[in-house]
């Protein structure tokens, strides 16, 4: 049993590790494949779909199959899924982010984004357009846009592989351990599994800070930094590690027996030699080869009566509703948390992921562990557990209301969320991005390569700021003579702008409070988590435990884990103010959100 506990704890670790890594990479995948948040939600949900395809079957046939071996097969499938998701990186070629090219003059300063001289001849200058040859080259590879299906399929496989781990592992422990220890063991395995997500997020944070084509591209030539919304991290690197960890997790299970003597009765039994009879074990282990199709057929015939029995249990029914609601809120929140932090508080995705891994998750583990410990310490019965859980949920809900105080102003983008400093807009609504100061520049409306003017306004490109010249290269490029930037004390039309969005100081200051509030909520919720989970075990008859876990997971996944990322993503897309553009036209991923609506 100790070996099984150790192996199962490591498997919980491995599945948490790869699951949280995938969660942390949602925004990287969104940008790499230039897709909207709702499609990311579908990719995220494919994991649940895979899980559901086999979950009920696995948990129902649970006690009748060789549980350790089925778990081992599951781990191998998970590792294959992770490797499959990496494929697009090697098929897609390099990532070219949106940027405007600047033509270099013979002199040391280059002619910059806004070149009025050529605008008379043809309004769109070469400076603002990627050379046509490049454009066509990008478009031959339009198949790229569907390569995210690989990630979706890999995620689906991961879901299929993960299905047996929880119901079979938990029921195996419950069958062969003392009743008073089983809650403690299950809590131990689940909480040791929680270290997986922590490390998964840390790995995610590390990979998000590396450039996606690391090793192929000279990093110094890249003009954007990790805080930029066009930045894509090395999302594929961590998936290779996840695949390897899942494979290692499968190894010990191949060598574990079909059944064990019940804990505490080892003294009177030599392990594994005597046939286990009577009450020592909830099922007599049949000889392996005789697991005939007939017995499986019989067990499927009992399926509906068992289902009826479960749903006739009012406590279990209420528990299922609770699970569904919690899954919806937690999954929606975790999936888009990093995007939220990045947009609201101006932190890079890598740092947001890092903080979730280092602050939020360990606190959650502590909460889960404490919850299990309190049950064991005070020997709580089912009614006491429900009261305890109920109090924690109400407190955490009231704390949630404080989120409305963590406010932050919208990024000030000229012509998008703010008027051009005092200048009137041109009349036509389509060109509200244009003002009299940049009307003769011939800017392309669909580009996003932001610069920050001296006046604290962000402009969509240097062209929209009306910049006439630039110095420096790469990240250090500075634009000068920007007619739209009325710098304080510079007089009209003589100002500079630097690459990148302007920083929002007040938002960065509000961030620690947000983090503290979130930590408190997570801790209190987690405290009620283990007691709530034990309610299910205490309220159903012993022979239905494994089946109940399966149905609970199924309900939570179908009505929570699956739809939540999709409808949260679609709602978040509604708050987008400026979409990026793909090489071949068509909208990519979102660049700027209306932060108030998002919150």
Q: Is 380 left (phi over 0), alpha (psi -120 to 50) or beta?
A: beta
Q: Examine residue 140 and state whether it is found in any structural domain, yes or no.
A: no
pLDDT tens, residue order, the chain (599 aa): 889 999 999 999 999 999 999 989 988 998 888 888 889 999 988 998 888 888 778 867 766 788 899 999 999 999 999 999 999 998 888 888 877 765 555 444 455 567 654 433 333 333 333 333 344 444 545 556 688 999 999 999 999 999 899 888 888 888 888 877 887 888 888 877 778 888 999 999 999 999 998 888 888 788 888 888 889 999 999 999 999 999 999 999 999 888 888 777 654 444 444 444 444 444 444 444 344 455 556 677 788 888 899 999 999 999 999 999 988 998 888 888 888 888 888 888 889 889 888 888 889 888 988 988 888 888 888 889 899 999 999 999 999 898 888 778 888 888 888 887 655 444 444 446 777 777 778 787 778 888 888 888 888 888 888 888 888 777 788 888 888 876 544 555 457 888 888 888 778 888 888 999 999 999 999 999 888 888 888 888 888 887 888 788 778 888 988 899 999 999 999 999 888 877 776 778 888 888 888 88
Task: Tell me whether residue 359 is in a domain.
Answer: yes
Residues 433 and 402 in one domain: no
Together in a domain, 365 and 467: no
User: Where does 490-581 have alpha helices with state H?
Assistant: 505-539, 545-556, 563-574
Residues 240 and 176 occupy one common structural domain: yes
Q: What is the CATH number of the domain that holds 243?
A: 1.20.1250.20
258 and 175, same structural domain?
A: yes
Of 262, 286, 315, which residue is a domain's last? 262
CA–chain centroid gap for 504, Å, is 25
> 510 and 497 in one domain?
no
Residue 465 lies in a domain: yes
What is the tally of structural domains in the chain? Answer: 3
Q: Tell which of 503, 527, 550 closes a domain.
A: 503
Q: 312 with 368, same domain? A: yes
- 394 and 433 share one domain: no
**pLDDT tens track for 183-201:** 788 888 887 777 888 899 9
Is there a single domain that holds both residue 83 and residue 160?
Answer: yes
Q: Strands of 243-349 (E only): list them.
A: none
Residue 194 within any structural domain of the chain: yes
Asked whether residue 289 is assigned to any structural domain, the reply reads no
How many angstroms separate the CA atoms of 557 and 336, rounded? Answer: 17
- Let me know if residue 596 belongs to a domain: no
- Asked whether residue 515 falls in the same domain as residue 442, the answer is no
The verdict on 357 and 346 lying in the same domain is yes
DSSP state of 280: G
Considering the domain architecture, whether residues 75 and 203 belong to the same structural domain is answered as yes
User: pLDDT digits over 296-310, tens only?
Assistant: 566 777 888 888 999
Cα 477 from Cα 461, distance rounded (Å): 13
Q: Which of 530, 545, 560 is the last residue of a domain?
A: 560
What whole-number distance in Å separates Cα of residue 598 and Cα of residue 282? 52
Note down the domain range covering 405: 305-411+505-560
The answer to whether position 309 is within a domain reads yes
Tell me, yes or no, whether 258 and 348 share the same domain.
no
pTM (2 decimals)?
0.76
Rg (CA), the chain: 28
**pLDDT by residue (tens digit) across 436-470?**
777 778 787 778 888 888 888 888 888 888 888 88
What lies within 8 Å, CB to CB, of 526 at 6+ separation is 363, 364, 365, 366, 367, 368, 371
């Amino acid at each position: 049993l100790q070996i099984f506990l150790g192996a199962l704890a490591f498997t919980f670790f491995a599945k948490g590790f790869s699951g949280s890594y995938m969660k942390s990479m949602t925004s990287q995948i969104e940008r790499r494949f230039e897709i909207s948040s709702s499609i990311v939600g579908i990719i995220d949900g494919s994991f649940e779909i895979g899980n559901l395809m086999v979950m009920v079957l696995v948990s129902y046939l649970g006690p009748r199959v060789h549980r350790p071996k089925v778990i081992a097969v599951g781990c191998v499938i998970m590792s294959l899924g992770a490797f499959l998701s990496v494929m697009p990186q090697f098929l897609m070629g390099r990532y070219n982010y949106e940027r405007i090219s600047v033509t270099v003059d013979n002199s040391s300063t280059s002619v910059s984004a806004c070149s009025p001289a050529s605008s008379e001849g043809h309004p769109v200058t070469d400076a603002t357009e990627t050379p046509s040859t490049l454009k066509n080259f990008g478009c031959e590879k339009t198949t790229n846009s569907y390569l995210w299906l690989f990630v979706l399929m890999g995620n689906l496989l991961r879901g299929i592989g993960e299905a047996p781990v929880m119901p079979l592992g938990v029921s195996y422990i419950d069958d062969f351990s003392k009743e008073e220890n089983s809650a403690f063991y299950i809590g131990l395995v689940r909480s040791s599994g929680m270290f997986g997500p922590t490390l998964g997020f840390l790995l995610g944070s590390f990979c998000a800070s590396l450039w996606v084509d690391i090793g192929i591209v000279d990093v110094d030539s890249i003009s954007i930094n990790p805080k930029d919304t066009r930045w894509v991290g090395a999302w594929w690197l961590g998936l290779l590690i996840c695949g390897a960890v899942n494979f290692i997790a499968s190894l010990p299970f191949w060598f574990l027996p079909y059944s064990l003597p019940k804990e505490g009765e080892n003294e009177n039994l030599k392990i594994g030699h005597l046939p286990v009879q009577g009450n020592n074990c909830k099922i007599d282990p049949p000889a392996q080869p005789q697991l005939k199709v007939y017995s499986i057929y019989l067990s499927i015939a009992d399926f509906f009566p068992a289902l009826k029995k479960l749903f006739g249990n009012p406590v279990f029914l209420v528990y299922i509703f609770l699970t569904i609601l919690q899954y919806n809120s937690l999954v929606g929140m975790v999936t888009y948390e990093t995007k939220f932090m990045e947009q609201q508080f101006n932190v890079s995705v890598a740092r947001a992921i890092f903080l979730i891994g280092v602050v939020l998750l360990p606190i959650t583990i502590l909460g889960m562990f404490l919850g299990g410990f309190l049950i064991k310490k005070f020997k709580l019965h089912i009614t006491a557990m429900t009261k305890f859980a109920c109090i924690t949920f109400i407190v955490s809900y009231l704390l949630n209301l404080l989120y409305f105080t963590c406010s932050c102003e919208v990024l000030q983008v000229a012509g998008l969320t703010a008027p051009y400093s005092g200048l009137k807009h041109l009349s036509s609504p389509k060109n509200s991005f244009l003002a009299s100061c940049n009307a003769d520049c011939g800017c392309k409306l669909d580009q996003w390569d932001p610069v920050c003017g001296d006046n604290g306004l962000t402009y969509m490109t240097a062209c929209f700021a009306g910049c006439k010249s630039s110095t420096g290269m790469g990240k250090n490029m500075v634009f000068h003579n920007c007619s739209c930037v009325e710098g304080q004390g510079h007089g009209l039309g003589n100002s500079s702008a630097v690459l990148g969005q302007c920083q929002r100081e007040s938002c960065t200051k509000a961030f620690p409070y947000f983090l503290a509030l979130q930590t408190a909520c997570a801790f209190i919720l987690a405290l009620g988590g283990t007691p709530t989970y034990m309610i299910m075990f205490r309220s159903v008859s012993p022979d239905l435990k494994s089946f109940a876990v399966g149905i609970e997971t199924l309900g939570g996944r179908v009505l929570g884990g699956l739809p939540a990322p999709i409808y949260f993503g679609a709602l978040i897309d509604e708050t987008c103010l400026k979409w990026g553009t793909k090489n071949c036209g068509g909208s990519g991923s979102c660049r700027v959100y209306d932060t108030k609506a998002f919150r």
